[in-house]
């Protein structure tokens, strides 16, 4: 006898995934603290603070430039063109209806020249947001299916996911820089360390190698949680999970080649993984469909 699956409430799913994302960010922060403590014990504490200050300045400067120009960078990098209301009236009407339902301001709309069924949203806040869909989405998706995809992208804007991604990117960048500087500094140390320092140096080497790998995996996990939260928020906006389910089903069956024009930096923004790879910032389509069917 087939087991009946428990129904999911989209409000509970949104809250649960936000808390999981917060917990994973705390985990990245703890990795940074532990790595810093071990390095400060292996060397002088002041040495670690010099590295930390340098890492903070470099990471934040790089990320802030990307953050404040995220929308422009994203659309330019994929060759997207601004969509005119005359050429894409249904696209505009769907987004306008969803902004009324969600209380969001109207984003700028773009179209990307790709045969894939895909879309993405970017921008530092709802007032500076863009939504971009592929030409394949406009051609292959029915109206309610496209509405589900657009609702998902508007959910990323409403949930301030770009800010989450930026915060995590800063911490991940700091850990990578600190680890690299620590490992390189060992070549210039005089080797005159007592036994206690030697133990911490060994621990530091292990952490410096493993920490960047661990936090990158955590970064992927956070991205997947945000995708689940956006799916649930899309159901909140449309009250029609079937549209999103059908869109995901079509993406799963799409035989289009992986997108070559998309860079790995922009790929996490997309509705579905444009590379169709195994190490993905997106959860499996089957899992997303399964959750949506229970809402």
Give the model confidence (pLDDT) of 266-291 as tens digits.
777 888 888 765 456 788 899 999 98
Residue 219 has pLDDT above 60, yes or no: yes
CA–CA distance, 177 with 165 (Å, rounded to integer):
18
The residue annotated as part of the active site, out of 13, 145, 147, 153, is: 153
Return the DSSP state at 243: H
Domain range list for the chain: 7-295
b/e burial code for range 114-139 (CB count within 10 A of at least 16 → b): bebbbbbbbbbebebbbbbbbebbbe
3-state secondary structure of 94: helix
Q: Which residues contact 266 (CB under 8 A, 6 or more apart)?
A: 73, 74, 77, 78, 120
Average pLDDT of the residues in 129-134 = 94
The residue among 121 and 219 whose pLDDT is bigger is 121
* Angle formed at CA 80 by CA 225 and CA 278, multiple of 5 degrees: 35
**Would you place residue 89 in the very low, low, confident or very high pLDDT band (cuts 50, 70, 90)?**
very high
3-state secondary structure of 112: strand
The pTM of the full predicted model, rounded to 2 decimals, is 0.75
CA–CA distance, 201 with 286 (Å, rounded to integer):
45
Q: Which of 213, 215, 229, 220 is nearest to 267 (CA)?
A: 220
The pLDDT assigned to 1 comes to: 37
Residue 120 has pLDDT above 50, yes or no: yes
Return the DSSP state at 74: H
Place of tokens 């997309």: 270
Return the DSSP state at 105: P
The residue among 138 and 268 whose pLDDT is bigger is 138
The residue among 206 and 190 whose pLDDT is bigger is 206
The residue among 14 and 85 whose pLDDT is bigger is 85
**Would you place residue 3 in the very low, low, confident or very high pLDDT band (cuts 50, 70, 90)?**
very low
Return the DSSP state at 269: G
pLDDT tens-digit profile of 242-256? Answer: 999 999 999 988 866
Does residue 147 have an active-site annotation?
no
Q: Strand runs (DSSP E) across the chain, as ranges?
A: 81-82, 108-112, 119-122, 130-134
List % helix, strand, coil for the chain (3-state, nearest 5). Answer: 65, 5, 25
Tokens of 229: 């939260």
The residue among 59 and 162 whose pLDDT is bigger is 162
The pLDDT assigned to 2 comes to: 41
The pLDDT assigned to 123 comes to: 82
């Amino acid at each position: 006898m087939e087991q009946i699956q428990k129904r999911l409430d989209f409000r509970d799913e949104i809250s649960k995934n936000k808390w999981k994302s917060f917990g994973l960010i705390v985990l990245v922060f703890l990795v940074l603290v532990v790595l810093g403590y071990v390095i400060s014990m292996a060397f002088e504490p002041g040495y670690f603070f010099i590295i930390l200050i340098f890492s903070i300045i470099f990471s934040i400067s790089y990320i802030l430039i990307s953050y404040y120009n995220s929308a422009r960078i994203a659309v330019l990098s994929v060759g997207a063109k601004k969509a005119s209301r005359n050429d894409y009236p249904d696209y505009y009407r769907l987004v306008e209806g969803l902004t009324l339902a969600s209380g969001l301001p109207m984003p700028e709309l773009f179209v990307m020249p790709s045969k894939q069924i895909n879309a993405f949203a970017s921008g530092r806040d709802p007032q500076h947001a863009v939504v971009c869909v592929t030409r394949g989405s406009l051609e292959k998706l029915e109206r309610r299916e496209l509405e589900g995809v657009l609702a998902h992208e508007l959910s990323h804007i409403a949930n301030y996911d770009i800010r989450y991604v930026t915060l995590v990117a800063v911490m991940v960048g700091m850990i990578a820089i600190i680890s690299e500087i620590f490992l390189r500094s060992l070549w210039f140390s005089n080797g005159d360390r007592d036994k206690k320092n030697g133990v911490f140096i060994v621990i530091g080497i292990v952490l410096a190698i493993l920490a960047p790998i661990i936090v990158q995996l955590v970064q992927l996990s956070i991205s997947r949680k945000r995708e689940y939260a956006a799916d649930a928020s899309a159901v909140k906006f449309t009250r029609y999970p079937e549209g999103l389910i059908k869109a995901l089903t079509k993406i799963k069956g799409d035989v289009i080649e992986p997108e070559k024009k998309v860079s790995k930096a922009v790929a996490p923004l997309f509705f579905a993984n444009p590379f169709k790879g195994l190490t993905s910032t997106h959860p499996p389509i089957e899992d997303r469909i399964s959750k949506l069917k229970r809402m």
